[in-house]
Amino acid sequence: MSEKQSNQNVVRESEPNPDKETKFHQFRGIGILLLCAVLVMGGIYSFGGITLQTAGSSRVGSRELPIYCVDTQKNQVALSFDAAWGNEDTQEILDILAKHNVHVTFFMTGGWVDSFPDDVKRIAAAGHDLGNHSENHKNMSQLSDEQCKKEIMKVHDKVKALTGIEMQLFRPPYGDYDNHVIKDAYECGYFPVQWSVDSLDWKDYGVENIIQTVTQNKALDKGAIILMHNGAKYTAQALDTIITGLQDKGYEIVPISQLVYTDKFHMDQAGKQISDEAQSGTQAGNN
């Protein structure tokens, strides 16, 4: 064999080998598919730069459920405020919470964030949870998957740009949801959250009525999530007594992020989130 013929049969390392590259791409494609399968089976989703591991299940029978309350042995409850309209009492609420060294969760709409960006920053600076209440406060069950995700992610991006925080808790406006809304929330990197105790503060029945509705509620128990609103007529006036009333009953008030499990959980038919491994769940917080 001549030197010329020998050289023709040598593939230099610096030169591409079509057969080798084809095999490489084939194996790489198979590897990517296997990796995706592992991620899906493991419950790891990545959307918009958010990575959320949900080894738990929100499904009960044929229904997808949000978190109404949490099964816990700790004497903890969570206060939450929906912020969709005014801000007349926001600073007063923050001052009362600071007085008691209590942290809560504020669920904010995109319109509220646009109108009161300084309040959003103050809430975050005070150490409270920032929660997502959709962009336009629409009935989410009436929207398509694409519209739902836009409603969630538009306000998400606003709050991230404003505070640097990646929100992880979502409350559907009006408490309106169906299976596709819950799935969309998880696919956007969110834990959907409802409430087990409604203060009914938005009905303007008066300070004493709000206090009694919360502190004497039959659903008030370990792991309860309490719904209130900033901008309601009597909420700020009732808040101080509600906090002391809950504490007198032995409850520690924590933000929802410290109450919910982020992995190894399932739901019961009432929407109670239950840890698959007692004390092993981790909490969803502000990143």
Q: So which residues are the catalytic ones?
A: 82, 229
129 forms beta bridges with 105
Reduced to 3 states, what is the DSSP secondary structure of residue 53? strand
Cβ 225 vs Cβ 258: under 8 Å: no
CA distance 51 to 62: 26
> Which residues make beta-bridge pairs with 60?
63
- Residue type present at position 207: V
The pair phi, psi for residue 27, each rounded to 5°, is: -65, -40
Count of beta carbons in the 10 Å neighbourhood of residue 277: 10
State how far the Cα of 68 lies from the Cα of 60, in Å rounded to an integer.
Answer: 13
Burial of 162 from C-beta contacts in 10 A (0-12 / 13-18 / 19+):
middle
From CA 24, how far away is CA 15, in angstroms rounded? Answer: 15
Residue 274 near residue 265 (C-beta atoms within 8 A):
yes
Structure tokens given for 234: 């009597």
